């Protein structure tokens, strides 16, 4: 992605970040260049490079590539949620069945990310229908000629809730319109978008990484595309530094993070695409992902899956990874650590005594954590099978 040559752009960006557009919504009405309109949903489109991904990754790209309409994108989401609910033994046909029910015990029901998203959007849609749209979304006027078009800067969840009201929720009347604060194209601000993202509802760690990358690319003069991008676009930021005099504005836009945490967040861009998608869907914290960014892609995916399945903490992840460490001598010949030699020797001498129940109790006695014990034993079994397959492949 080529850099753009505009020496005044950086100062304009920082000026917009510190200006009146970052004030509370009521103050927008004092600015003649800012207006609130009620727009047709058909004239509004989400930002394709918005760091916060609302839709699942596949649907996100198909929608922004023009292969799905808004209604078709939501229908895809509904079908994914329905399949997951049916597999759990709690099928639904009417979307209103997903609304919270005070007479139903839902504490022990573990929903998939898609079910959770759909439930949240339906709840938001019903709230908007009953109480009105309290907060307008912010859109950038991208109109060219007679074709009116607006790109969402903040408030994409309200947009999708509007489409649910329009096309999916029977018995809820909707005029297919949405209240919007309209911002001129020349006053669009990636800094304001970042501040809104971190202020309203915390971003996932992966979304924070994309947000950090977007800010870094912007202040370094990179052209920001108006179409959906791959993760490689954001990974360009891995080689970039924060220009002098912009650090505090970037940290503030990211929710007041410090230099060290910004660096940790940025490093998550080292994760492969599948690991990033899994971590984003399941809203994994930066702390549990920090240790796995240096692993090979297949190992990253495996560890993310274990983190999701067993709810591992950052320390537990580090402990599992430390178990697999090996050292190499100067000649490149593998040198086995003492703990591996001890394990092999002990197992070889007492192979008949390694019963499953005894292993479980021994691991549990040491770690005092059933989830961690289960993860260790699963890892041990996978390692043993991998070793056996490797031997068979060499014969």
Q: Tens digits of per-residue pLDDT, 132-160?
A: 998 999 999 998 888 889 999 989 999 99
Query: In the prediction, which pLDDT does 76 show?
Result: 97
pLDDT at 20 over 50: no
Any idea of the CA torsion for 268, 272, 277, 282, to the nearest 10 degrees?
-60
Instruction: Give the pLDDT confidence score for residue 89 in this predicted structure.
Output: 87
What region, left, alpha or beta, does residue 221 occupy, with left being phi > 0 and alpha being psi -120 to 50 degrees?
left
Query: Could you tell me which residues come within 8 angstroms of residue 40 by beta carbon, excluding any fewer than 6 positions away?
Result: 176, 177
How high is the pLDDT of residue 103?
67
Looking at per-residue confidence, does 361 or 257 come out higher? 257
The strand ranges marked E within the chain are: 35-40, 44-45, 137-141, 150-154, 177-183, 327-328, 334-335
Q: What is the pLDDT of residue 48?
A: 95
Lowest mean pLDDT among 214-218, 222-226, 359-363: 359-363
Q: Is the pLDDT of residue 25 over 70?
A: no
> Do residues 376 and 363 touch, judged by C-beta distance below 8 A?
yes
The tokens describing 225, both together, are 């595309």
Provide the sign of the torsion angle of the four alpha carbons 222, 223, 226, 227, taken in this order: negative
| Least confident window among 50-54, 342-346, 352-356, 364-368 | 342-346
Q: Which of 123-132, 137-146, 207-216 has the lowest mean pLDDT?
A: 137-146
When mean pLDDT is compared across 94-103, 224-233, 235-244, the lowest value belongs to 94-103
Distance CA 239, CA 283 (A): 26
What is each CA distance from 195 to 51, 67, 223, in whole angstroms? 12, 31, 21
Q: How far is it, in rounded angstroms, from Cα 229 to Cα 49?
A: 7
Q: Please tell me the pTM assigned to this model.
A: 0.75
For residue 343, give both structure tokens.
């394990």
CATH number of this structure's domain 192-323: 1.10.10
The half-sphere exposure of 19 on its side-chain side, counting CA atoms within 13 A, is 14
Q: How many percent of the chain have pLDDT more than 70?
A: 81
Whole-angstrom Cα distance, residue 138 to residue 179?
9
pLDDT for the residue numbered 354:
74
- Mean pLDDT is highest, among 163-177, 266-280, 342-356, 366-380, for 266-280
d(CA 215, CA 227): 17
| Tokens coding 54 | 């609302």
Alpha-carbon distance of 47 to 57, in angstroms, equals 14
In the predicted structure, residue 233 carries a pLDDT above the cut 70: yes
* pLDDT tens per residue, range 272-299: 999 999 999 999 999 999 999 999 999 9
Task: State the CB neighbour count (10 A cutoff) for residue 378.
Answer: 14
Q: Which H/E stretch holds residue 38?
A: strand 35-40
Per-residue model confidence as pLDDT tens digits over 250-278: 999 999 999 999 999 999 999 999 999 99
Distance CA 284, CA 242 (A): 26
pLDDT at site 383: 80
Q: Are the CB atoms for 59 and 68 separated by under 8 Å?
A: yes
Angle between helix 205-219 and 190-200 (nearest 10): 160
Cα–chain-centroid distance for residue 311?
17
Per-domain residue ranges of the chain: 34-183, 192-323, 331-394
- pLDDT of 305 reads 95
Q: Assign residue 245 a region (left: φ > 0; alpha: ψ between -120 and 50; beta: otherwise).
A: left
d(CA 275, CA 303) in angstroms, rounded, equals: 9
Residue with tokens 């752009």: 9
- For the ranges 38-42, 47-51, 140-144, 385-389, the lowest mean pLDDT is seen at 385-389
* Local confidence band at 373 (pLDDT 50, 70, 90 cut-offs): confident
What local confidence, expressed as pLDDT, does residue 370 receive? Answer: 84
Q: Is pLDDT of 165 > 90?
A: yes
**CB under 8 A, 24+ apart: contacts of 349-358:** none
Decide which of 3.30.70.920, 3.90.1530.30, 3.40.50.920, 1.20.1070.10 is the CATH code for 34-183. Answer: 3.90.1530.30
Q: Is 308 exposed, middle or buried (0-12, 13-18, 19+ CB in 10 A)?
A: middle
pLDDT score for 188: 80
Q: How confident is the model at residue 22 (pLDDT cuts 50, 70, 90)?
A: very low
- Mean pLDDT across the chain, nearest whole number? 84
Give the pLDDT of residue 19: 46
Contact 70, 163 (CB under 8 A): yes
Give the DSSP H/E element, type plus range, for residue 208.
Answer: helix 205-219
**Mean pLDDT to the nearest integer, 325-353:** 58
In this predicted structure, what is the pLDDT of residue 7? 46
Quick check: 14 pLDDT over 70?
Answer: no
């Amino acid at each position: 992605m080529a850099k753009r040559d505009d020496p005044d752009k950086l100062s304009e960006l920082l000026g917009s970040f510190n200006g009146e557009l970052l004030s509370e919504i009521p103050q927008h009405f004092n600015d003649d260049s800012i207006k609130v309109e009620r727009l047709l949903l058909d004239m509004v489109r989400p930002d394709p490079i918005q760091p916060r991904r609302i839709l699942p990754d596949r649907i996100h790209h198909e929608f922004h590539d023009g292969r799905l309409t808004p209604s078709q994108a939501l229908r895809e989401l509904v079908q994914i949620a329905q399949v997951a609910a049916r597999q759990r033994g709690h099928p639904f046909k009417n979307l209103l069945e997903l609304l919270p029910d005070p007479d139903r015990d839902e504490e022990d029901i573990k929903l998939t990310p898609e079910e959770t998203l759909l439930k949240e959007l339906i709840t938001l849609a019903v709230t908007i229908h009953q109480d009105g749209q309290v907060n307008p979304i912010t859109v950038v006027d991208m109109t060219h000629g007679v074709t009116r078009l607006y790109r969402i800067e903040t408030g994409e969840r309200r947009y999708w809730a509007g489409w649910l009201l329009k096309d999916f929720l029977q018995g809820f009347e909707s005029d297919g319109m949405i209240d919007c604060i309209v911002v001129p194209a020349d006053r669009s601000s990636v800094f304001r978008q970042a501040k809104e993202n971190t202020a309203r509802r915390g971003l996932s760690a992966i979304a924070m990484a994309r947000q950090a990358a977007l800010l870094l690319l912007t202040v370094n003069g990179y052209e920001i595309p108006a179409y959906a991008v791959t993760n490689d676009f954001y990974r360009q930021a891995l080689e970039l530094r924060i220009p002098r005099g912009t650090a505090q504005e970037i940290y503030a836009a990211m929710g007041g993070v410090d230099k060290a945490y910004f660096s940790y967040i940025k490093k998550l861009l080292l994760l492969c695409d599948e690991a990033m998608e899994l971590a984003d869907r399941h809203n994994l914290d930066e702390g549990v992902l920090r240790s796995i960014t240096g692993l090979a892609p297949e190992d990253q995916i495996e560890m993310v899956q274990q983190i999701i399945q067993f709810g591992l903490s950052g320390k537990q992840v580090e402990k599992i990874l430390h178990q697999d460490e090996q050292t190499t001598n100067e000649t490149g010949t593998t040198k086995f650590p003492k703990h591996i030699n001890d394990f092999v020797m002990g197992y070889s001498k007492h192979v008949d005594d390694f019963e499953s129940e005894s292993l479980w109790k021994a691991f549990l006695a040491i770690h005092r954590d059933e989830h961690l014990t289960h993860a260790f034993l699963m890892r041990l079994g996978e390692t043993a099978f991998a070793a056996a397959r490797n031997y068979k492949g060499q014969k």
